[in-house]
Structure 1
Amino acid sequence: MRKKLTGIVLAGILGCMMVLGACSAAGKGESETGTEPVSAAGQMQEADEAYHKITAEEAKKMMDEGGVTVVDVRTAQEYTDGHIPGAVLVPNEEIGDEQPSALPDKDAVLLIHCRTGVRSRQASDKLIKMGYKNVYDFGGIVDWTYETETGEASN
């Protein structure tokens, strides 16, 4: 009885391996258009590679080194009341399907923030879906202990 059960289990495992191997080999071909299909997992991996959650301290260091665009995704009134010097105003609610004119370079390093971190994550996700490749979310200005200024946006 024991030998018979072992044989059945081994046959089942071998059968599963053959089925999985056949499915794997079939999935390696190109599509009819000659291009590789992009899977949902592939899109998620690209999004994960584009999105970076950092601290306000890390953002400040990157700003000091230069070569970054600081993006404030709060409302115009919130921006006027106090913002990080040099920040570009791109309100989260205005980020839709079209690329924001204030952010022409999809390869630029973007440092995204809002008031508490909720809108910065939403905006980051939307920008990544548009094709931005270097999105750094440093949360909210409530955690920003460095210089701020008041006044309207120049963009």
Structure 2
Amino acid sequence: MKNPDLNRSDIVIRIAWLYYTYGLTQEEISKQLNLSRPMVQRLLAQANSEKLIKINIDHPMVQCLELEKKLMEQHNLRFCRVCPAPGIEFSQVLPGLATLGASVLEEFIRKSEPTTIAIGTGRTIRACVRELKSQDMSQHRIAS
């Protein structure tokens, strides 16, 4: 390291702070601290591996993502989506749930390899199907 005023631990923290808090590029940091860009990259990787970086996303959607992860782990699911609906009644949730459900179904239907898609019945499924765009995907089977 070319900057004698800082020890390695201090410089790792400083680089992480400049990069994550102030949004400076690795190139900008390298010029500011008189280090090579590859050295800045290595020290950022070190900060990550030493768990010095914690990213906090402040958005209601985070709760949905955390719930998806828990559901997948607890029920051994390969795929799960949770629709955000804080404090509103089911009748108000249905349009958003139908849109999300239709987009998930379309992801599976777009795949070229043949797939069997099993779906249930009820208002939610009916609303999802109504949101689907008409497509010819004869390689798939739908089971209900």
Give the TM-score normalised by structure 2.
0.25
**Which structure's residues are more often strand, by fraction?**
1
**Which structure's residues are more often helix, by fraction?**
2
Give the TM-score normalised by structure 1.
0.24
